[in-house]
Amino acid sequence: MIPEACAHLVRRTKELAPGVEVGLHPHNAFGLAVSTTCAGADVIELSVNG
């Protein structure tokens, strides 16, 4: 998913479920994991070196 699409889904989720923490678990399959973490999520799950 491109960063803009991820940000859109996070925004819509927060609009539809106010007060709920939104979390992301991005994968780096296309080198975009860092970009998608800037999408406005409250929680980011990640791993280092794999």
Backbone torsion region of residue 7, taken as left when φ is above 0, otherwise alpha when ψ lies between -120 and 50, otherwise beta: alpha
How many domains is the chain partitioned into structurally? Answer: 1
The pTM (predicted TM-score) of the whole model is 0.71
Which token pair is 29?
A: 């399959």
Q: What is the 3-state secondary structure (H, E, C) of 1-50?
A: CCHHHHHHHHHHHHHHCCCCCCEECCCCCCCCHHHHCCCCCCEECCCCCC
Structural domain boundaries, residue 31 = 3-44
Within a domain: 49: no
Whether residue 24 is contained in a domain is answered as yes
Residue 4, pLDDT > 70, answer: yes
In a domain, 50, yes or no: no
Q: Does any domain span residue 28?
A: yes
Q: Label residue 50 by pLDDT band (50, 70, 90).
A: low
